[in-house]
Amino acid sequence: MATAVELRESFRDLPKEDRQNNPDFSIRVWRGLSWLERAENAESDDLEGRFISGWIAFNALYGRLDEKQRPWGDREAMGTFLAQVWRLDHHRHIGKLLQKRQLRILRIIEDKYLCNRFWVSGGSPTKQIKRELRDSLAWIGTPKASNVLHLLFERLYVMRNQVMHGASTKGSKLNRRAMRECGTLLLEMIQSLLEVMIEHGVGEDWGNVCFPPDGPDTKR
In three state form, how does the secondary structure of the chain look? CCCHHHHHHHHHCCCHHHHHHCHHHHHHHHHHHHHHHHHHCCCCCCHHHHHHHHHHHHHHHHCCECCCCCECCHHHHHHHHHHHHHHHCCCCHHHHHHHHCHHHHHHHHHCHHHCHHHHHCCCCCHHHHHHHHHHHHHHCCCCCHHHHHHHHHHHHHHHHHHHHCCCCCCCCHHHHHHHHHHHHHHHHHHHHHHHHHHHHCCCCCCCECCCCCCCCCCCC
The domain total for the chain is 1
d(CA 31, CA 194): 11
d(CA 125, CA 115): 7
100 belongs to a structural domain: yes
At 217 the pLDDT is: 53
d(CA 84, CA 87): 5
**Residues of the chain scoring pLDDT < 50:** 218-220
For the packed helices 126-139 and 102-110, what is the interaxial angle rounded to 10 degrees?
A: 160
User: Which residues does 203 contact at the CB level (< 8 Å), separation at least 6?
Assistant: 18, 22
d(CA 145, CA 140): 5
At 218 the pLDDT is: 45
pLDDT tens-digit readout, 11-52: 999 999 999 999 999 999 999 999 999 999 999 999 999 999
- 129 in Cβ contact with 110 (< 8 Å): yes
> How far apart, in Å, are the Cα atoms of 77 and each of 71, 73, 96, 148?
9, 6, 24, 17
d(CA 210, CA 109): 30
214 belongs to a structural domain: no
150 belongs to a structural domain: yes
211 belongs to a structural domain: no
210 belongs to a structural domain: no
At 153 the pLDDT is: 99
Q: What residue numbers bound the domain in which 180 lies? A: 4-200
CB neighbourhood size of 92 (10 A): 15
At 219 the pLDDT is: 42
pTM listed for this prediction? 0.94
218 belongs to a structural domain: no
Vertex 88 angle, CA 204 and 51, to 5°? 95
52 belongs to a structural domain: yes
159 belongs to a structural domain: yes
